A = this chain, B = another copy of it.
């Protein structure tokens, strides 16, 4: 993308309404614009990151064998009356009446609707196991929305639902989701720690939240410091293997790690003192096993091998897709702006032309731009006639992990400069070498 043809409305001033750094940086980097309280437009740069995160979630869901569909944003009230949650859900549910005075609502979650889809179409144990998910906009009418996309009202979420014949199969689905989520977050450059949690309005006994450590987190967390040494890495997992998935769950949940909601001081004190940590965390996902809580009242039953009708065992599993942008920025920024992990960066690399209008510099930038695109990479080329300082400030603010700087002086010696946003280190090399290096970083050399 050429910056002269893009829409990147960066702000010089720090917006006063933003209390936390991710909100400030998303506004300043021209990623979002508030439409009304807790509701945002995703400007082009923000939208690019949102799509990258969505793509990672889809790819990892596919790897785990989960099947995507898409449920609508508006739901009929009667489904929620069946489950008993219509009255139980408080004023956070946005209730709507249509022109025929039918009661509807903007879905805050989809347990009822997916159970309805399941019971309408599945009647045999032979069609199990089954996990369906979607990535769709949800609404929770927070009384005081704040922190930008971290606690918005209209938010994008991945929610998945497993249907299994037995509790054991459903617990495997739970474990499989835990494994899949570990991979998902790591690909985004995040360490998200599974912590034993409270089930809240979803219900159920088994539930873990995934928390990213950050000073601005809404939850106080308590953990054994050994847990932050765990990495999922590149390991190959057979998602059908109960044993393999259970082993990962055990590895990642055997050490103490809880939020304030489930914290147990006595248990925590069993951790050697030197390893006891208290910090704050941002919740970026949660998994639940809740058995037959929805399938029983809603009649989601299958025939088992003996011909008996049994309610299916279910769980639901969510990733806060739009909130993840805030969480990533909270975990990865400095005083100059955002530092995107390579997995989610809106553009792979910036190209800064120090002297737009200089024939040699323009030509070198065009060649770099074309060469990077030939590798399937998306560079952002600052071809404007802003001064160099402003160009660097914008690149630092929007946080592209790599920048190639091109100027007449370097070109005389046949070199450009490749700079890491994270370390600030620069290295001179030929344009061809810079392209090769960036391609190698992104695995497309």
Contacts and interface: CB of A to CB of B under 8 A. Distances in A.
B9 A74 contact: no
Given A7-B130, A94-B96, A96-B96, A102 B71 contact: no
Interface stretch (A114-122, A198-206, A393-401): A114-122
Interface range on chain A: under 10, 10 to 19, 20 to 34, or 35 or more?
35 or more
Nearest to A11: B121
Interface string A35-53: 1110111111011001000
Given A33-B117, A99-B91, A130-B7, A39 B69 contact: no
Contacts of A35: 71-72, 74-76, 113, 116
Contacts of A30: 121
Contacts of A7: 67, 69, 121, 127, 130, 132
A43 B5 CA distance: 38
A6 interface: yes
Contacts of A141: 98-99
A351 to B, nearest CB: 18
Q: Which of A71, A106, A127 has the most CB of B within 10 A?
A: A71
Q: Which of A7, A37, A39, A94 has the most CB of B within 10 A?
A: A7
Interface in A131-172: 132, 134, 137, 139, 141, 143, 153-154
Copy tally for this chain in the complex stands at 2
A50 B9 CA distance: 31
A65 interface: yes
A18 to B, nearest CB: 16
A404 B71 CA distance: 32
Given A7-B130, A33-B120, A72 B102 contact: no
A70 interface: yes
Contact of A69 (B44, B91, B92, B106): B44
Interface string A84-95: 000000011010
A269 B278 CA distance: 83
A70 B42 contact: yes
A68 interface: yes
Interface in A19-34: 30, 33
A322 to B, nearest CB: 10
A70 B322 CA distance: 12
A46 B67 CA distance: 12
Given A9-B122, A143-B99, A154 B72 contact: yes
A56 interface: no
A228 interface: no
A102 B5 contact: no
Given A76-B36, A96-B94, A120-B33, A113 B68 contact: no
Contacts of A99: 91-92, 94, 141, 143
A81 interface: no
Nearest to A10: B121
Contacts of A43: 69, 117
A104 interface: yes
Contact of A39 (B74, B127, B154): B74
A120 B34 CA distance: 11
A262 interface: no
Contact of A117 (B41, B67, B94): B41
Contact of A42 (B39, B41, B69, B143): B69
A40 B113 CA distance: 11
Contact of A44 (B37, B67, B143, B153): B67
16 contacts: A5-B65, A6-B67, A33-B117, A33-B120, A33-B121, A35-B72, A35-B74, A39-B72, A41-B71, A43-B69, A44-B68, A46-B69, A50-B70, A73-B137, A98-B141, A99-B143
Given A36-B75, A44-B68, 18 more contacts: A5-B65, A7-B121, A7-B127, A9-B121, A35-B75, A35-B76, A35-B113, A36-B102, A41-B72, A41-B113, A42-B70, A46-B69, A50-B70, A72-B154, A74-B153, A94-B96, A96-B106, A99-B141
